[in-house]
Chains A and B, each alone.
Chain A
Amino acid sequence: RKEVEQDPGPFNVPEGATVAFNCTYSNSASQSFFWYRQDCRKEPKLLMSVYSSGNEDGRFTAQLNRASQYISLLIRDSKLSDSATYLCVVKEDDYKLSFGAGTTVTVRA
């Protein structure tokens, strides 16, 4: 069983739409949670951390549900530049991150 599971998508949405997707993780002792973004043929980069109380960064909202062991990301008012693969990432200990396989989002004009 994978430690971090994501719906691979793709999610195809028009500009201005809202898109949301989740991931689930198996290790209840996981310490911290993140969303990374990976553009086509590029390296992953940190998008945002996910806090228990939920947090926003501009048009992006992340939520964590520890009881159900899932994390969500919501993108409001989608832009063409939001087209990317979004990786759900769980920090297992001081060193190790576990990555989901990614959810692909395509925003169309």
Chain B
Amino acid sequence: DVKVTQSSRYLVKRTGEKVFLECVQDMDHENMFWYRQDPGLGLRLIYFSYDVKMKEKGDIPEGYSVSREKKERFSLILESASTNQTSMYLCASSLVGSSYNEQFFGPGTRLTVL
């Protein structure tokens, strides 16, 4: 069965802290994605990666960075957390190529920044 896991379901951090969100997929997918989901705004793409050590900015990369050192793992880093980064963070993975459409999501991490 397809599986994407995220390191934490709930996380509470303080303003200015460095935050690491980890995502692991066991499907040997090339593509991995980080989204944030906010009420009324839907899912917005933060960063994605199509290969190890490769990364591309999404629609809202400001305040975030990512790391992909291994194919199965994609990390999202908040260098200095701010209250406007309180959100649900969803990781996803997919196969590469125009024929492959489905993205598989992890359960999400609800991050609260105080």
Contact = CB atoms under 8 A, between A and B. Distances in A.
Nearest to A34: B101
B23 to A, nearest CB: 12
B40 A101 contact: yes
Chain A interface mostly: loop
B48 interface: yes
Given A87-B42, A101-B40, A46 B102 contact: yes
A92 to B, nearest CB: 10
Interface string A28-65: 00011010000000111110010000000000000000
Given A8-B40, A99-B42, A101-B40, A45 B105 contact: yes
Interface of B: 31, 35, 40-45, 48, 50, 56, 58, 90, 96-98, 101-103, 105-108
Interface in A76-104: 87, 91, 94-97, 99-102
Interface in A1-39: 2, 4, 8, 31-32, 34
